[in-house]
Amino acid sequence: MASHAVTLNDAQYEEQRDHRLLGFLFFLISDCIIFSSFIFTYLYLRSAAPVWPPPGVTPADLYMAGVNSIVLFGSGATMHFAMESFKHDKHLRFYWWMMATILLGSMFLGGQAIEYTNLIHENTLWTTSIYGSSFFSLTGLHGFHVFIGVCFLVVVLNQTLSGTYTKTRYFGLTAASLYWHFVDVIWVALFSILYVWR
């Protein structure tokens, strides 16, 4: 592209932000549909199976996932505080809340890695049963989203530190926080149908 430095006036920025926000919401809706599709597959297979979990399968541990869920929901809270701090121009607090969110997100991923290792030790793989295929594809898809979310947060934090966002113009931050809350909400659904519902 011919890069031409364009400075947007406020009205133009508002218009652009508006478009991006709506576009991003549509993206989240279609992402939600992808999860729904895998959730439907899981529910269908589960309801068609004579016994659940299938014989010989050790299901994932509820307590460990519970702890991990608290970590993820906590990161949703810290994300919220980070955004509030930014809106009130409290940059140092914003920085620490963002670091906390990134840390909690990474802890969730670490917890998931431990969970996967345990399951693999018990020979519950995604190839061995429909429990494995549903469990690993849903949590894996979600874990992938968390990973992307953590990267997203690192990038916007870096951008904030280098002064990309101002008090009135911070769409990147809004998008990152929306995405993070979306990932949280999806986890509520996954946690209930995969772990709580025995």
Interface contacts to another protein, rule CB under 8 A: 1-2, 4, 6, 8-9, 11-12, 14-15, 18-19, 22-23, 26-27, 29-31, 33-34, 36-38, 40-41, 44-45, 48-49, 54, 126-127, 129-130, 132-134, 136-137
CB of 127 to another protein, least distance (A): 5
Buried b (16+ CB within 10 A) or exposed e, 10-46: eeeeeeebeeeeeebeeebeebeeebeebbeebeebb
Give the nearer residue to another protein in terms of CB position, either 34 or 155. Answer: 34
| Min separation Cβ 123 and another protein, Å | 15
Tell me the helix, strand and coil percentages in the chain, rounded to 5.
80, 0, 20
Question: At residue 60, what is the residue type?
Answer: A
Q: Which CB atom, from 17 or from 181, has the smaller least distance to another protein?
A: 17
Minimal distance, residue 31 CB to another protein, in Å: 7
Shortest approach of another protein to residue 23 CB, angstroms?
Answer: 5
Nearer to another protein, 103 or 125 (CB): 125
Query: Could you tell me the sign of the dihedral formed by the alpha carbons of 118, 121, 124, 127, in that order?
Result: positive
Query: Judging by beta carbons within 10 Å of its beta carbon (0-12, 13-18, 19+), is residue 126 exposed, middle or buried?
Result: middle
Of the pair 128, 192, the CB lying nearest another protein is at 128
Q: What angle do the packed helices 62-87 and 171-191 form, to 10 degrees?
A: 160
**Nearer to another protein (CB atom), residue 25 or residue 67:** 25
